[in-house]
Amino acid sequence: MTTLPLLSMRPLERARTYASFVRFEHTLFSLPLVLAGIFSAPGKPMSAVRWLLVVLAAASARTAAMAFNRIVDRQLDALNPRTRSRELPAGRMRVAEGWSLFIGGIVVYAFSCAELGRWFLEVSPIPLFVFIGYPYLKRFTPLCHFGVGLALALAPLAGYAAAHPDLGHAATAWWLAGFALAWVAGFDIIYATLDEDFDRLHRICSMVSWLGRPRALRLSAVLHAVAFACLLGAAWSMAGTFVVTGPAWTVPAVIGTLTFSGVLLWLEQRWAEDVDLAFFKVNVIVGFSVLAMVLTARTATGW
């Protein structure tokens, strides 16, 4: 394997490599859930500084998590034809650079939590424990999909806690967390179908390698049904907080955005055999449709 002269690469090119390494675009899965958590309960708008701290905490934690995941998996990625072109196995990045991104993400995350408040700093290791533990789960349990689901389930709870430090009226945020857990675990099973043969050959645990593709996809469908049920719970919870006090258009608008989210989940299952379509196109819209549902309900109060 030929290693490129990394140090001679231009700063912009290195920045693009780093963004690709941590899959920065996948923030589209988590950021809408953080925002949904922020707006899931009544309260005064946050200051601009607090908004910035929340975004920094979310982005840096995810950067650290993805960097660690890529470092841990680099040897497996080098063996897998689908992933051997990733930055570490392809030699476009050094392992030391990956560790630097991981440590930098941890530092920014800890700083952001400290600035948000002492309580946030005290609980900050909890997401890190989940993020760091996830890459090892597939070494010994097919329940690994729920590890990444749990990581994303923390997003609406973190957003909610940042905007509502008194932790009052948290029911909707918990429903959103349940949605994220089931939704992400379900689409991670779909994603795992790409590596069914490789996982069996190298004894990597996944629902697909354990149950076989047909039964694993049925489990994914069940999880997405559970996710939709959690969205119904979130909508019902918001009905008591926002909708009943809002104008007449609020109820049909919330039902419309809720239905749209359900249709997207159905399409994701309908097109599960086409992972590029189901995962990278349909799936990325789901989080924004959920955020739209929450914002629609919140708008009913006139902010």
Residue 118: which CATH number? Answer: 1.10.357.140
- pLDDT digit string (tens) for 218-235? 999 999 999 999 999 999
For residues 193 and 206, what is the distance between their CA atoms, to the nearest angstrom?
Answer: 9
Residue 247 has pLDDT above 70, yes or no: no
Q: What is the pLDDT of residue 277?
A: 82
Quick one: what percent of the chain has pLDDT higher than 70? 91
Residue 130 has pLDDT above 50, yes or no: yes
Residue 267 has pLDDT above 60, yes or no: yes
46 occurs within a structural domain: yes
For residues 156 and 177, what is the distance between their CA atoms, to the nearest angstrom?
Answer: 6
Q: How many domains does the chain have?
A: 1
4 occurs within a structural domain: no
Give the mean model confidence (pLDDT) for residues 145-163: 93
Q: What is the pLDDT of residue 238?
A: 84
- What average pLDDT does the chain have? 88
Tell me which of 20-29, 110-119, 133-142, 173-182 is least confident.
20-29
Q: What is the pLDDT of residue 132?
A: 87
- pLDDT digit string (tens) for 26-56? 667 788 999 999 998 877 778 899 999 999 9
Range of the domain at 250: 13-299
For residues 268 and 261, what is the distance between their CA atoms, to the nearest angstrom?
Answer: 11
Virtual CA dihedral for 244, 245, 246, 249, nearest 10 degrees? 20
Q: What is the pLDDT of residue 31?
A: 87
3 occurs within a structural domain: no
Return the higher-pLDDT residue of 142 and 238. Answer: 142
232 occurs within a structural domain: yes
H or E segment to which residue 181 belongs: helix 171-192
114 occurs within a structural domain: yes
Residue 134 has pLDDT above 90, yes or no: no
Q: What is the pLDDT of residue 6?
A: 52
Tell me which of 84-88, 117-121, 163-167, 249-253 is least confident.
249-253
1 occurs within a structural domain: no
What totals of helices (H) and strands (E) does the chain contain, helices first? Answer: 16, 0
5 occurs within a structural domain: no
206 occurs within a structural domain: yes
Which one-letter DSSP state was computed for residue 2? Answer: P
Q: What is the pLDDT of residue 106?
A: 96
- Nearest C-alpha neighbor of 100 from the set 74, 63, 150: 63
Residue 121 has pLDDT above 70, yes or no: yes
Return the higher-pLDDT residue of 121 and 284. Answer: 121
Work out the number of other CB atoms within 10 angstroms of the CB of residue 276.
Answer: 9
Phi, psi of 2, deg, nearest 5: -90, 130
Q: What is the pLDDT of residue 168?
A: 81
Give the mean model confidence (pLDDT) for residues 265-276: 89
Residue 303 has pLDDT above 90, yes or no: no
Q: What is the pLDDT of residue 211?
A: 94
Quick one: what percent of the chain has pLDDT higher than 90? 63
